[in-house]
Amino acid sequence: MKFFILLFLFANLFAQEDYSLRVAYGKVTSSDFGEVLSGDIKSHPKDLTVFALDAGYLLQQNTFDLPIDTYVKTGLSRFDEAGTHDNVYEFTLYIKLYYNIDFLDNRVRFGFGEGVSYTESLLYAETLEASENDDTNSHFLNYIDVSLDVDLGKLVRYEPLEGTSLGWALKHRSGIYGVINNVAHGGSNYNTVYIETKF
């Protein structure tokens, strides 16, 4: 954990803003994707958590002449399975769009990412959901990353932190109703809080 914090601070020293680094921590929810987005967040029977590190590269600013930044991102996550079995590691690769809104002397970003996710072992939350719905599981699934954040530097009026964002993100894995590996109900949703910087 100390290594990631030092890496984050080091990246802030050489800000060129072509790259991004995000550190996130969160918990699983038994709510489905739509329920989470509507604010109907339900607790899960198990206290399952995730720690994630995502790095990105800015492909284009003002995509389509709109206030949209386009990134290609990759991530490595560690899921704490709370004693159900060993921790599980995940690799993600995705494209993410950030829609920027400037108001009240701050910048709010709404992000949507789409790509792929691979876990080296099956997640307990996905196994449980699949068994409840007589479904299958897969290591390889679709990945969606939805986020909302604010510029931390502008929020606290500290210029060296401008470009560093504080926010919420949903990590979503699914088979898109059976399109990928016949997984219709074997996905998972993790609500996370994060800090992200450009460098």
pLDDT in tens, 27-61: 999 878 777 887 777 877 788 999 999 999 999 99
pLDDT in tens, 103-132: 888 999 999 999 999 999 999 988 888 887
Please state, in angstroms and rounded to a whole number, the distance separating the CA atoms of residues 141 and 187. Answer: 8
pLDDT in tens, 84-104: 778 999 999 999 999 999 988
Residue type, 103: F
pLDDT at 1: 53
What average pLDDT is seen over the chain? 88
Whether residue 17 has pLDDT greater than 80 = no
Record the tokens describing residue 119, joined without a space: 């876990």
Record the tokens describing residue 126, joined without a space: 């996905």
pLDDT at 12: 47
| 6 C-beta neighbours (distance < 10 Å), count | 10
Burial pattern 144-177, b for ≥16 Cβ within 10 A else e, equals bbbbebebbbbbeeeeebbbbbbbebbbbbbbee
Total domain count, the chain: 1
pLDDT category at 3 given cuts 50, 70, 90 is low
pLDDT in tens, 131-184: 877 778 889 999 999 999 999 999 998 888 999 999 999 999 998 877 887 888
State which residues form the domain around 95: 2-198
Pick from 16, 9, 6, 3: which is nearest to 198 by CA? 16
Provide the CATH number for the domain around residue 92: 2.40.160.20
The Cα-based distances of 31 to 37, 39, 46, 85 in angstroms read 10, 10, 13, 22
Whether residue 2 has pLDDT greater than 70 = no
Record the tokens describing residue 75, joined without a space: 């991530």
Please state, in angstroms and rounded to a whole number, the distance separating the CA atoms of residues 194 and 29. Answer: 17
